[in-house]
Amino acid sequence: STLSTASSESERTAMDLAAEQLRAWPGLSKEKQLELVKNEESTVFSQAIHYASLMVYLLVPLDTSKNKLLRSTPAADWESGSNSILTNRQETFFR
């Protein structure tokens, strides 16, 4: 019996927990209800700020030095460099 209770406790989902809290809500004191509401709002607000911070990190470049922004050609663009070398050699060979 204890084993089945332990396994059912570990298999509880978020919906199970929410349903349990909703059932207990009317029996809670007004102070406890206000405390739970404040905690929930604080959690949601913190998650929103965290999400907004992640979006900013994705949109703002990490290196904003003027040298990097003003550089006209990429320093380590190996693919385009090798393509131009191959193209130039082919043009020379087929002339």
Which amino acid is it at 35? E
Q: What is the 3-state secondary structure (H, E, C) of the chain?
A: CHHHHHHHHHCCCHHHHHHHHHHHHHHCCHHHHHHHHHHHHHHHHHHHHHHHHHHHHHHCCCCCCHHHHHCCCCCCCHHHHHHHHHHHHHHHHCC
Query: So what's the pLDDT on residue 43?
Result: 95
Q: Could you read off the pLDDT tens digit of each residue along the chain, which spans 95 residues? A: 555 555 566 789 999 999 999 999 999 999 999 999 999 999 999 999 999 999 988 888 777 676 665 656 555 555 555 445 545 555 555 55
Q: What angle do CA 8, 21, 50 make, to 5 degrees?
A: 95
Question: What's this model's pTM, rounded to 2 decimal places?
Answer: 0.47
Residue spans of the domains in the chain: they are 7-69
Query: So what's the pLDDT on residue 60?
Result: 80
